[in-house]
Amino acid sequence: MTDRKEMVLLGGVNQKIHYVTDDPSKPVLLFLHGGPGVCNRHDIMTHHRDLLDTFTLVTWDQRGSGGSYYGVPEESLTIERMTDDAAELVEWLCKKFSKDKVFVIGGSWGSELGVWLISRYPEKVAALFGFGQVVDIAKNESISYEYTLKSARDAGDEEAVRKLEEVGPPVEGQYRGGFDGMMVQRNLMMKYGGYSKQSGKESYWNAMVVPMLKSREYSLKDLVGLILGYKKVLKKMWPELGRTCFPKTCTQFRTRFYIFDGRLDMNTPSELVQDWFDSIEAPDKDLIWFESSGHNPMGDEPERFKKLLREKAKAVVAEEPCII
């Protein structure tokens, strides 16, 4: 068993990865976390380690986040630079594990980063798996805001309605008050089940950040990077993310693309996915719905999610065994 955390130079910045394998001949699966700025090493290496039966698992703290917080120029926090970092990491992993290609999986912002990756650097990606799939951020935020406001009104939650009306409807994906306005909407959206009907009414902080802080996955230095990094990265990158509209920019791919989406997702609303998916041209594609899941079907319906993930990956390997 190889279980190692190390720093890899990507785009001139040392960035932290954690890889685990019980057999380096197995296909590599690289996880792209969400946010941007919300690391997921703790979740993957704790709750989804059973995927080692099929894959070598790799998690990565993206530029400016967690163990990759330090020495990052703020002006480098862009979609283009993050995409280049991801491509460099894929190249590094191919060399490290003697592969021609690796599998990539991304949730939420990670699903967006994955799309940019296969749009610009498809050659070394065997397949992309997306969940909590980003499609169009401006529409995404408008739908999510209206869902949250209606839910609060239906519940007679006058305080929540007041807060949402103070923030106001997002304009091109941007909330009044910037990061703080977005957090008002996100916390209330989670309260009313828009993130997950299964996880209760936890706040964004309790659901996303507290598990990181309690995890043994991160060093003290990493935790400082988590606390300082997630807000910095999100604030810097969100205006650019707000211009994301994949139906206009990304519909043709040269690698396989599979979307595993929660039907109940109102964080990145699932209603936007089907039309974009139908327009996609790719060597192979599939859209699989998880009817009882919200934004993270890997957490809401883990057994089915991982069963299908294994099956799709094995089918790719069976089709082209020499590439993995």
pLDDT digits (tens, 9 = 90+) for 232-254: 999 999 999 999 999 999 999 99
Residue 51 lies in a domain: yes
246 and 120 in a single domain? The answer is yes
Round to whole Å and give the CA distance between 210 and 203: 10
Residue 80, pLDDT score:
98
Omega cis (within 30) before 269: no
Write the burial class of residue 141 (CB in 10 Å: 0-12 exposed, 13-18 middle, 19+ buried). Answer: buried
Residue 215 covered by a domain = no
Measured CA to CA in angstroms, residue 226 lies from 11, 66, 171, 268, 311 at distances of 20, 4, 28, 23, 34
| Rounded Cα–Cα distance for residues 126 and 317 (Å) | 9
In tens, the pLDDT along 132-155 reads: 999 999 999 999 999 999 999 999
Q: Would residue 213 count as lying in a domain? A: no
Q: Is residue 74 part of a domain?
A: yes
Mean of the per-residue pLDDT values for the chain?
A: 94
User: Containing domain of residue 88, as a range?
Assistant: 2-136+220-323
pLDDT of residue 221: 95
Position 16 confidence tier, pLDDT thresholds 50, 70, 90: very high
- Residue 20 pairs in a beta bridge with 3, 57
Are 270 and 296 found together in one domain?
yes
Same domain, 233 and 145: no
| DSSP character at residue 39 | -
Q: What is the CATH number of the domain that holds 260?
A: 3.40.50.1820
Instruction: Return the percentage of the chain with pLDDT > 90, whole number.
Output: 90
Looking up tokens 């001949």 gives: 25
Judgement on whether residues 19 and 100 belong to the same structural domain of the protein: yes
Total domain count, the chain: 2
Is the predicted pLDDT of residue 12 greater than 60, yes or no?
yes
Could you tell me the pLDDT band of residue 197, with boundaries at 50, 70 and 90? confident
Angle, alpha carbons 304-306-312 (nearest 5°): 100
Whether residue 88 is contained in a domain is answered as yes
**pTM for the model:** 0.95
Domain presence at residue 212: no
Radius of gyration of the chain from Cα atoms?
19
User: Are residues 246 and 296 located together in one domain of the fold?
Assistant: yes
Asked if residue 269 and residue 190 are part of one domain, the reply reads no
Nearest Cα to 65, choosing from 56, 50, 52, 76? 76
Per-residue pLDDT, averaged over 273-296, amounts to 97
- Residue 75's contacts (CB-CB under 8 Å, 6 or more residues apart) are none
Q: Is 204 in contact with 231 (CB distance < 8 Å)?
A: no
Last residue of a domain, one of 156, 176, 206: 206
Q: Is residue 211 part of a domain?
A: no
Does residue 153 share a domain with residue 87?
Answer: no
Q: Are residues 194 and 62 in the same domain?
A: no
Residue 198 has pLDDT above 90, yes or no: no
Average pLDDT over residues 11-23: 97
Q: Please classify residue 75 by burial: count the beta carbons closer than 10 Å to its beta carbon, then call 0-12 exposed, 13-18 middle and 19+ buried.
A: exposed
Binned at pLDDT 50, 70 and 90, residue 321 comes out as confident
Tell me the two tokens of residue 22: 């019980």
Q: How far is it, in rounded angstroms, from Cα 216 to Cα 56?
A: 21
Instruction: Looking at the structure, tell me whether residues 131 and 263 fall in a common domain.
Output: yes
Residue 320's pLDDT is: 83
Percent of the chain whose predicted confidence (pLDDT) is above 70: 96
Q: Give the residue-averaged pLDDT of 107-117.
A: 98
18 with 167, same domain: the answer is no
**Looking at the domain assignment, is residue 110 inside a domain?**
yes
159 lies in the same domain as 296: no
pLDDT beyond 80 at 110: yes
Label each residue of 67-132 as H, E or C.
HHCCCCCHHHCCHHHHHHHHHHHHHHHHHHCCCCCEEEEEECHHHHHHHHHHHHCCCCEEEEEEEC
Q: Are residues 47 and 121 in the same domain?
A: yes
The DSSP string of 234-292 is: HHHHHHHHTT-BHHHH--B-SSEEEEEEETT-TTTTGGGHHHHHHH-B-SSEEEEEETT
According to the model, what pLDDT value does residue 324 have?
75
